[in-house]
Amino acid sequence: MPITTLEPTTSHKRLRMFAAITAVIAVLQTIVAVIMIAVDNEMLLHAHEGLGYLFAAAAIATAVPAVIWGRLSRGTGLIGHAVGLAVAGVVQLLLGLFFAPEDGAPLGAMMYVHMVLGLLILGGAVFLYVIARRQPIIVTNVDGTPRSACRTESAGCSPKFTLPWNA
């Protein structure tokens, strides 16, 4: 049964680009955070704060094409993942802004929550990029005509349009 990969739509192209930017910021943020914890440096703290704002903005911007493309492709998991990451990004930013210790004070319990959430966000951002890269495919009859007679799997009939996350 021939399978053709479809050209990505505008929202899918945007989603892939924004998800890549979000994942890169998450990787940079984690590297900066680890160095910041190891060496107490004012400049790294400012870099971490700036990257924090950038990450939250990028995650929110990524959620927009994810919702549009997710609706088109019936990818509810993709929508949930992108919106969840945006919410987590904002929560993480607020945790950092409100619970970062004063000069020289030890880290409070909420900052340990911040660190664990930061690592989960890193994984989530990379995973979002991976699922955003998935290409939609179309399944046709052997002669190339669309398999339009059915929408669900049944005897002698398979869905006309299928996506990796629906397969």
136 binds ligand HEM (CB under 6 A): no
- Residue where the block lists tokens 């966000």: 121
Applying CB under 6 A, which part among 8-16, 49-57, 126-134, 149-157 lies near ligand HEM? 49-57
Closer Cβ to ligand HEM, 13 or 40, answer by number: 40
12, 15, 21, 52: which one binds ligand HEM (CB under 6 A):
52
23, 58, 114, 162: which one binds ligand HEM (CB under 6 A):
114
28 binds ligand HEM (CB under 6 A): no
47 binds ligand HEM (CB under 6 A): no
49, 133, 137, 147: which one binds ligand HEM (CB under 6 A):
49
**CA angle, residues 71, 92, 57, in degrees to nearest 5:** 50
Determine how many CB atoms are found less than 10 A away from the CB of residue 119: 12
* Phi, then psi, of 158 in degrees rounded to 5: -130, 160
111 binds ligand HEM (CB under 6 A): yes
Which residues are 5's β-sheet partners? 137
Residue 125 CB, shortest distance to ligand HEM, in Å, is 8
Q: How far apart are CA 75 and CA 66, in angstroms?
A: 9
For residue 85, what is the enclosing H or E element? helix 76-99
CB 82 within 8 A of CB 128: yes
Determine how many CB atoms are found less than 10 A away from the CB of residue 121: 21
Give the footprint of ligand HEM on this chain (CB under 6 A): 26, 29-30, 33, 37, 45, 48-49, 52, 55-56, 89, 92-93, 96-97, 100-101, 107, 111, 114-115, 118-119, 121
